[in-house]
Amino acid sequence: MALFCPKCKGIMMPKKTSTGKIRMVCTCGYTTKDKEKIVLKEKIAVDKKNKINIIDKDIKTDPKTKVDCPKCSHGEAYYWLLQTRAADEPETTFFRCVKCKHQWRSYD
């Protein structure tokens, strides 16, 4: 059974009739024949690889800031910003220690 109206190509919605059967109805007025049972299914594929890879990052051009490295406690690191989540959320700040090259991120 089609979910889209063959007449106007709009989305049809299920509606129960007075006899208890179900038919698909469109806002343009098109209706399907009565059915005993309609099953709507949805499948969502989720990418389980939430890994962010930084490829060949030229760190020499990035600005430095005063922040303590969580690995070696050095007080200076390079930083850059990337939009890693939805556009209405703040960007992620990435840091790389000047001394030990340890890399971490901040979501603040």
Q: What angle do CA 68, 72, 77 make, to 5 degrees?
A: 45
3-state class (DSSP) for residue 61: helix
CA 96, CA 65: separation in Å to the nearest integer?
A: 10
Given 36, 56, 88, 108, the catalytic residue: 88
Q: Is 89 a catalytic residue?
A: yes
Q: Are 75 and 67 in contact (CB under 8 A)?
A: yes
Active site residue: 34, 68, 89, 91, which one?
Answer: 89
The partner residues of 11 in beta bridges, in order of sequence, read 4
Active site residue 88: yes
Would you say 3 and 10 are in contact if contact means Cβ atoms under 8 Å apart? Answer: no
Active site residues: 88-89
